């Protein structure tokens, strides 16, 4: 599998999901098990001079979406990726540049996802993302994403 570089993922997001460019989203790290995105405070600021909750939700969604995208690159058949459900908990305000990390290092979860996708043409996976340190996060996001193979 040929992974996109951080620059390539960032360019793809900015081109295909324009809100990511307006928000200043930057790809910090890309691997089959983790995607880390970051965004600056200024274009995402709210009336309390902290990061707007909607911006935190968008970047968390993008981090998880990107991890699915990166993992689907190994397939020869292209697929659409959509979010089908999301939950977010705002634990503490964020008042500076923020990073969102989505990690899924359980090979069995990806194997199941790919097996179902190949067999049925669609599959779902639930991924989690955090803003801040994983042991002391500011925001926790959990989203279910569906991949739908092109026929």
What percentage of residues in the chain have a pLDDT greater than 90?
Answer: 90
pLDDT per residue over 29-66, tens digit each? 999 999 999 999 999 999 999 999 999 999 999 999 99
Average pLDDT, the chain: 95
pTM for the full model? 0.95
Mean pLDDT of 133-137: 88
Determine the straight-line distance between the first and last CA of the chain, rounded to whole angstroms. 22
Predicted pLDDT at 1: 57
The answer to whether residue 42 is domain-embedded is yes
The answer to whether residue 129 is domain-embedded is yes
Residue 40 Cα distances to 53, 116, 125, angstroms: 14, 38, 29
- pLDDT level of residue 77 (50, 70, 90 thresholds): confident
DSSP string covering 65-93, please?
Answer: HHHHHHHHTT-SS-EEEEEEEEEEEE-S-
The answer to whether residue 57 is domain-embedded is yes
Mean pLDDT of 14-28: 98
Domain residues for 26? 6-149
Predicted pLDDT at 134: 82
| Domain at 27, CATH number | 3.10.129.10
The answer to whether residue 1 is domain-embedded is no
Question: Rounded to an integer, what distance in angstroms lies between the CA atom of residue 50 and that of residue 96?
Answer: 7
Question: Rounded to an integer, what distance in angstroms lies between the CA atom of residue 28 and that of residue 5?
Answer: 10
Q: Which residues lie across from 114 on neighbouring strands? A: none
* pLDDT at 100 > cutoff 90: yes
Question: Rounded to an integer, what distance in angstroms lies between the CA atom of residue 2 and that of residue 148?
Answer: 21
């Amino acid at each position: 599998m040929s992974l996109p570089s951080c620059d390539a993922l960032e360019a793809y997001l900015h081109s295909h999901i324009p809100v990511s460019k307006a928000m200043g989203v930057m790809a910090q790290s890309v691997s089959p098990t983790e995607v880390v995105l970051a965004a600056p405070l200024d274009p995402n600021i709210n009336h309390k001079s902290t990061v707007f909750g909607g911006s935190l939700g968008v970047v968390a969604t993008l981090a998880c979406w990107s991890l699915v995208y990166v993992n689907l690159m190994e397939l020869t058949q292209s697929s659409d990726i959509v979010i089908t459900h999301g939950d977010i908990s705002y634990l503490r305000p964020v008042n500076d540049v923020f990073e969102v990390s989505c990690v899924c290092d359980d090979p069995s979860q990806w194997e199941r996802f790919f097996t179902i996708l190949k067999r049925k043409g669609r599959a779902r996976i639930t991924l989690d993302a955090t803003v801040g340190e994983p042991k002391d996060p500011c925001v926790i996001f959990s989203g279910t994403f569906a991949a739908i193979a092109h026929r």
